[in-house]
Each structure stands twice: as structure tokens, then as C-alpha cells.
Amino acid sequence: MYEDRVKSLLKDDHALKAADLETLKMQLLKAPSSLSSVISRQISTQQTMAAMREVGEAFNPLRTEAIETFELLENKKRLLIEAENEMYDLTLPLPAQDSGYLHPTTQVIRELNSFFRYHGYSVYEGPEIETAEYNFRKLNLPENHPATDQQESLFIMQPDILLRTHTSSVEARALTNLEPPIRLVVPGKCFRNETLSKTNSSFFYQYQGVVVDKGITLKHLKATLEQAHKFLFGEDTVLRFRYKYYPEVSPGMGVDMKCKFCDGVGCDVCKGRGWLEMLGSGMIHYNTLKMCGIDPEEYTGFAFGMGLDRQVMQKFAVSDIRKLYGGGVVYQ
């Protein structure tokens, strides 16, 4: 009978009552009919010490198990009472937790994505291992162009498979696969055979932008870049547009920003010029549109490719591009 009561109480913690526990404990261990009394009577009827010892050794494990069972039940009951009495204020804020921070490059990508999405652009992606067709040919870069040489590009399998040298390769894919009107941006990694320095690396990020529609002109490109940079760096940002040759666009423009480190006076970062080259841009070349299957007589468009790492360096006052990808956890 006692064994059944103990098993029942062990199965249902909420059935535990302090009075029941104490009563059962008295009945099992201390009452005249208890287990302890039964053991004592059995021992007293034995004629020899050896027999008494044998009876004690047989019954003692039962008594020990009973005591341990009651201790377990009492502990469970105590914990249940403590839990019922403990009150929690669910309106209190959680304790502060230490957490990581987004990498500066990730922050700038997200900021630019939000700006361009607001203005109706889609965020597009493409492969980092690219074919020469999309990386060069469809961008009006012939086979003998210097950019196709091993000294500039990192080929995986000559002559057609390489690590993309610019996000313009994704532009070529988009122009080939999508129908105008097209408005998209492409953040991504690029790879070139560059000598490592404060402002150059063999691994870097670019942020490509492409617009193709009827009636697109150079003034749309200029306004877009000015608005994007003021959004990223503030209304006091000053840009400078100058003619520059790029095979995939015509006319092409280099875009410089007044150096944030020296306010245009000249420093190591801008190499004493007061201006830092931020991106290349221009109107998409007639041949590029044609090779990608878009009628250049009906549609025009612009493209730009930001050196994203330089945007990051200016925004976060990082003077050396190598610090961005050296593995140091120093940015907040």
C-alpha cells in the first residue's frame, strides 16, 4: 500500500501535500507497524549475531531507499512552492546583452540598397566566377584589350573562365536576360591582379547601377549619383564629374568626391589631390546594348560602378583599405 502511494506521488508533482508526505513518512518509517519496526522485530527474533546481521543487511537497503524517496519528494515540493510564490514582472526590459555589429561594408551596402529600392530599383546578383563573354565581350571589351590580360585579370581556365573583375558582368547578364525598362543595382565582390596598397586590393567590393529606358540621358545619371552620395555622406558632399574613357560606356565619366579626411586640402589617402576617385560611369555604349539584345535606336541607358570600399573608407574614416578585411574586430 505504501509503495503504491509513493509511486503515485512521484508521478504527479502537483498532488504533493506537505501533510500527506509527513503522514506517509511516519507510517512507513516511525509508526509501530512501519518498515523500521518490522526490521527491528525480525532482527530481535534471531538467535545469533550472524543471523541478525543477515536480516539487517537484507532490510537496510529498503529503508535507505525509502528515506531517499522521501527526501526527493520533499525537495520537489519545496521547489514547487518556491516557483508558485515567485513573481515575475513581464513588463520589465530584458537585461542588456553584448552583441556584434555589422561590418562597415555591409552597413553601406544596406544603406545604398535602401536608397535605390526607394527609387524603384531592384537588387540583382550574379556569379563571381564568370565567362569572358559576360565579363568582357558583351561590355565592348575586345580580346586584345589590356583588361583581358593575365596581368590584370585572375583567370581560372584560359581563355574563358575567370574571377569577375567588375560587377559590370552582372549588368551584361541583366541586359541580356531582362526586357526594358530596367532599373537595378548590383553589390558584390570583384577580383583583380592588383598590388596591395592603402587604396587598392586584389579583393574588393563594387556597387553597380544600371538603368535602361526610353529617353534616358546624362543628366539622369548625374542627378542619381549626386542624390545617392548626399544620402550616404550628407548634404555637404561635393562631387566632381570629368570625362574618362571606359569601353562599355560612351561618353564616360569619372566621379570624384572631395576628400573627407582633409576637406580637399590634400593628404595621404587622396594622394595630395584633395579629391578621391569614387566611381566610373557613363551612358551605356551603343555596341553594349546591341550585343545584349536591346535595340539602341529605341532605348538608352546609363551605368555606374562604385568602388564600394572607397565609399566605406570615406564614411567611416578608414585610412587603409587593408584594415577592412584584415580580420580585426574593431568596428562599431
pLDDT tens figures, 167-187: 999 999 999 999 999 999 999
Task: Phi first, then psi: give them for residue 138, nearest 5 degrees.
Answer: -75, -5
Nearest to 269 by CA among 196, 206, 197, 207: 197
- When pLDDT is averaged across residues 287-301 and rounded to a whole number, the result is 95
pTM of the full predicted structure? 0.67
Q: Report yes or no: 293 and 90 within 8 Å, Cβ to Cβ.
A: no
Q: What is the pLDDT of residues 11-54, one digit of tens each?
A: 544 455 555 556 666 656 555 545 566 666 666 676 677 766 77
User: Peptide bond preceding 61: is omega within 30 degrees of 0, i.e. cis?
Assistant: no
pLDDT at residue 287 above 80?
yes
> For residues 288-310, b (16+ Cβ closer than 10 Å) or e, as one string?
bbebbebebeebbbbbbbbbbbb
What is the mean predicted confidence (pLDDT) over 117-141?
Answer: 94
pLDDT band at 158 (very low <50, low <70, confident <90, very high): confident
Average pLDDT over residues 220-247: 94
Q: Is the pLDDT of residue 68 over 50?
A: yes
pLDDT for the residue 229: 94
Percentage of the residues of the chain whose pLDDT score is greater than 90? 43
* Residue 147, pLDDT score: 63
φ, ψ dihedrals at 264, nearest 5°:
85, 0
pLDDT at position 163, please? Answer: 92
Q: How far is CA 123 from CA 186, 240, 277, in A?
A: 6, 27, 24
Give me the pLDDT at residue 2, please: 47
| Between residues 331 and 74, the one the model is more confident about | 74
Q: State which of 1-10, 53-62, 143-152, 155-164 shows the largest mean pLDDT.
A: 155-164
Look at residue 223 in the predicted model and tell me its pLDDT: 96
Residue 13 pLDDT: 47
Q: Residue 271 region, left (φ>0) first, then alpha (ψ -120 to 50), else beta?
A: left
pLDDT higher at 51 or 165: 165
pLDDT greater at residue 264 or residue 107 = 107
Tell me the pLDDT band of 1, cut-offs 50, 70 and 90. very low
Q: Residue 139 above 60 pLDDT?
A: yes
Residues in the chain: 332
Burial class (CB in 10 A: 0-12, 13-18, 19+), 329: exposed
Q: Tell me which residue of 145, 24, 9 sits closest to 72, measured CA to CA.
A: 9
